[in-house]
Amino acid sequence: MLQTEPTKRFTIHDIRSHDWYGMIKSVEMEGIMVGKDKIPVIPDQLQELKEHFSGDNLEQAATFVQNNKHNQVTSTYYLLMKRKERLTGKNYVYEQVTFEKRKNLYSTSHIMYQ
């Protein structure tokens, strides 16, 4: 039954503190969290960027992408990425980010052996 009385509704705190909610480890896997996740740079795309774009800032293209800079170089980089995604049906940035997150999530490097 839908609870229409605002004071009787479950809050986010109520839901997250329930035993069932705690049974599965919550993992944020979708997308890039700017400032938290490292933004991947696809080397093939940097090479294609050099073929289609020229300018003084081109040598710093990888740094611009990693730092989430908004300029002509990164705009061109992402437009080329979108074109490649349309042609191949693959989202290379998403795949790289989720690969890194899963690698870190399932890593056993934090386990102390005696």
Is 16 domain-assigned? no
Share of the chain above pLDDT 90, in %: 6
Instruction: Compute the distance between CA of residue 77 and CA of residue 84 in angstroms, rounded to an integer.
Output: 11
Is 69 domain-assigned? yes
Domain extent at residue 92: 29-105
Is 86 domain-assigned? yes
Is 61 domain-assigned? yes
* Overall number of domains in the chain: 1
Instruction: Compute the distance between CA of residue 13 and CA of residue 11 in angstroms, rounded to an integer.
Output: 5
Show the low-confidence residues of the chain (pLDDT under 70). Answer: 1-3, 25-31, 56, 101-114
pLDDT of residue 36: 72
